[in-house]
């Protein structure tokens, strides 16, 4: 029982720290969580190879039971609270890092002599073993995470959007597969006895139960979300995103940038809106939208020609992009209409930004007295934590038309 208690304590410590880092991503970014996730990979593999404890149901390794199972479940939590685009990055980072480790180890082996040290000599055979296990474990992790996410999506729907049974069933299935796939290589490399196969499997089932319960509590009390939890994407689309399928990436690349103005396209804006709606966690900060329309554009287009009209739009887009904050997005929403999306900006800040946008456009045309170009802007800000930006967009659009009715070349933030 002492062994079970210590394993449970390790799992609680692991989950507590990792969940705190995940929650802190709003303030400090996702890097803290990802680095902490990756830095333990070597220790996890080392323990899985050489550190075993014996319990009544067999041999098991805390590295495999607590750390690997925990890492797999944290990848799932990252997906549930973010999206597939975010979770795939550390997966590929771990794979590349482990392949780099093996490459460096192969170069190290080319040294013909090693300097003798008192009481210690480098064990290159052990480095080889760890290298093999790390690469194989990472390849399995790649398969495991994709399978876990797809299973969770399918079972979440099957269990009528109840997280705990979906978490438990998907994690038990994937960890069973992982145990059956990892143990033969572990046995071949280190000679680990077969008792560890059944003992490790039983321990992983216990870990699946513990981590599933902890994640369900996290989802219920730490980051609850009032939103339709089912993704509108098909499972095949989720697979395409996780695996960087060229077809999907090419589609995004072609749809993201407006050829004329260099701003984002309306398709890219709608995709961003949809991703925000689909995310399992909604950023608790407000989001401000500024709808921008070029005043009297049709008259200028008719007077100066379509080529001049295109130049006006490109100049307006450059002025807007230069005036927004780093991280804000500028998209061409319609013919002469643009939208600026500003995350984490409250309404007073958005009004000040909109005035800068208006002034920047006027300044961009100040050198040409024959073409005085101005813009009208409507500004709206979402409630903190809103996932659906549709109401905010409609409000900004209504205020844009209020600005035009009031005489144009102005910012309207309320009606």
In a domain, 246, yes or no: no
User: Is residue 392 located within the same domain as residue 327?
Assistant: yes
User: Is residue 361 located within the same domain as residue 228?
Assistant: no
d(Cα 246, Cα 224) in Å, to the nearest integer?
Answer: 34
CATH number at residue 363: 3.30.70.270
CB count, 10 Å around CB of 323? 21
Model pLDDT, residue 231: 47
d(Cα 68, Cα 132) in Å, to the nearest integer?
Answer: 16
Please give the C-alpha separations between residue 134 and each of 99, 126, 197, in angstroms, as whole numbers. Answer: 9, 12, 18
pLDDT at 252 over 70: no
Model pLDDT, residue 27: 86
pLDDT at 42 over 90: no
d(Cα 69, Cα 72) in Å, to the nearest integer?
Answer: 5
d(Cα 410, Cα 299) in Å, to the nearest integer?
Answer: 19
Least confident of 24-28, 216-220, 255-259: 255-259
Instruction: Please give the model's pTM, rounded to 2 decimal places.
Output: 0.61
Domain that holds residue 406: 264-412
d(Cα 192, Cα 66) in Å, to the nearest integer?
Answer: 18
In a domain, 232, yes or no: yes
Are the C-beta atoms of 258 and 264 separated by less than 8 Å?
A: yes
d(Cα 222, Cα 18) in Å, to the nearest integer?
Answer: 13
Instruction: Write the Ramachandran bin of 244: left for phi over 0, alpha for psi from -120 to 50, otherwise beta.
Output: left
pLDDT at 410 over 70: yes
d(Cα 295, Cα 84) in Å, to the nearest integer?
Answer: 40
User: Is residue 222 located within the same domain as residue 270?
Assistant: no
In a domain, 341, yes or no: yes
In a domain, 250, yes or no: no
Enclosing H/E stretch for 182: helix 163-190
Answer with the residue of higher pLDDT: 169 or 139.
169
d(Cα 137, Cα 128) in Å, to the nearest integer?
Answer: 14
User: Is residue 201 located within the same domain as residue 308?
Assistant: no
Report residue 38's pLDDT band, with 50, 70 and 90 as the boundaries: confident
Are the C-beta atoms of 255 and 272 separated by less than 8 Å?
A: no
pLDDT at 101 over 90: no
Report residue 229's pLDDT band, with 50, 70 and 90 as the boundaries: very low
| Domain-ending residue, one of 190, 218, 236 | 236
pLDDT at 246 over 50: no
User: Is residue 335 located within the same domain as residue 383?
Assistant: yes
Enclosing H/E stretch for 379: strand 375-381
User: Is residue 186 located within the same domain as residue 92?
Assistant: yes
- Please report, rounded to a whole number, the percentage of residues in the chain having pLDDT higher than 90: 42
pLDDT at 313 over 70: yes
| Domain-ending residue, one of 220, 236, 252 | 236
User: Is residue 221 located within the same domain as residue 322?
Assistant: no
Are the C-beta atoms of 295 and 408 separated by less than 8 Å?
A: yes
Q: Span 9-27, mean pLDDT?
A: 93
User: Is residue 224 located within the same domain as residue 363?
Assistant: no
pLDDT at 257 over 80: yes
In a domain, 281, yes or no: yes
Find, among 364, 372, 375, the residue nearest to 400 by Cα. Answer: 375
In whole angstroms, how large is the CA radius of gyration of the chain? 27
d(Cα 52, Cα 61) in Å, to the nearest integer?
Answer: 4
d(Cα 390, Cα 313) in Å, to the nearest integer?
Answer: 25
Instruction: Write down the residue that tokens 């996702």 correspond to.
Output: 30
In a domain, 255, yes or no: no
pLDDT at 82 over 90: no
Model pLDDT, residue 132: 85
β pairing state of 411-412 and 53-55: unpaired
User: Is residue 78 located within the same domain as residue 212?
Assistant: yes
Q: Span 267-282, mean pLDDT?
A: 72
In a domain, 241, yes or no: no
**Distance of alpha carbon 268 from the chain centroid:** 17
Model pLDDT, residue 4: 87
Least confident of 297-301, 345-349, 354-358: 297-301
Are the C-beta atoms of 130 and 45 separated by less than 8 Å?
A: yes
In a domain, 245, yes or no: no
d(Cα 197, Cα 182) in Å, to the nearest integer?
Answer: 9
């Amino acid at each position: 029982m002492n062994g079970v208690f210590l394993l449970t304590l390790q799992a609680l410590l692991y989950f507590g720290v990792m969940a705190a880092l995940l929650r802190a991503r709003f303030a400090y970014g996702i890097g803290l969580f990802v680095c902490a996730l990756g830095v333990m990979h070597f220790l996890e593999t080392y323990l899985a190879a050489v550190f075993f404890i014996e319990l009544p149901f067999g041999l098991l390794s805390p590295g495999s039971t607590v750390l690997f199972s925990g890492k797999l479940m944290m990848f799932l939590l990252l997906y549930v609270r973010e999206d597939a685009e975010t979770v795939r990055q550390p997966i590929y980072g771990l794979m590349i890092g482990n392949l780099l480790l093996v490459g460096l180890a192969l170069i190290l082996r080319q040294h013909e002599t090693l300097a003798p040290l008192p009481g210690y000599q480098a064990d290159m055979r052990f480095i080889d073993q760890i290298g093999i296990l790390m690469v194989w474990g990472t390849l399995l992790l790649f398969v495991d995470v994709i399978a876990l996410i797809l299973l969770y999506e399918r079972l979440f729907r099957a269990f009528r959007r109840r997280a705990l049974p979906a978490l438990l069933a998907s994690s038990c299935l994937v960890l069973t597969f992982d145990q059956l796939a990892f143990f033969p290589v572990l046995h071949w490399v280190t000679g680990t006895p077969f008792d560890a196969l059944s003992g490790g499997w039983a321990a992983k089932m216990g870990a699946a139960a513990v981590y599933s319960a902890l994640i369900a509590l996290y989802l219920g009390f730490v980051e609850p979300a009032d939103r339709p939890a089912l993704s509108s994407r098909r499972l095949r689309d989720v697979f395409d995103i996780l695996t960087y399928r060229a077809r999907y990436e090419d589609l995004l690349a072609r749809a993201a940038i407006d050829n004329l103005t260099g701003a984002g396209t309306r398709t890219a804006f709608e995709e961003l809106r949809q991703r925000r709606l689909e995310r399992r966690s909604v950023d608790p900060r407000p989001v401000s939208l500024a709808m921008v329309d070029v005043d009297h554009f049709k008259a200028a287009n008719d007077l100066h020609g379509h080529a001049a009209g295109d130049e006006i739009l490109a100049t307006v887009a450059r002025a807007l992009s230069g005036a927004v904050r780093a991280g804000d997005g500028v998209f061409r929403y319609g013919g002469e209409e643009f939208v600026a999306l500003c995350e984490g900006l409250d309404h007073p800040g958005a009004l000040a930004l909109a005035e800068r946008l208006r002034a920047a456009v006027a300044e961009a045309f100040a050198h040409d007295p024959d073409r005085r170009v101005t813009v009208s802007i409507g500004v709206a800000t979402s409630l903190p934590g809103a996932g659906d930006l549709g109401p905010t967009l409609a409000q900004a659009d209504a205020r844009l038309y209020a600005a035009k009715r009031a005489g144009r070349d102005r910012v309207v933030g309320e009606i």
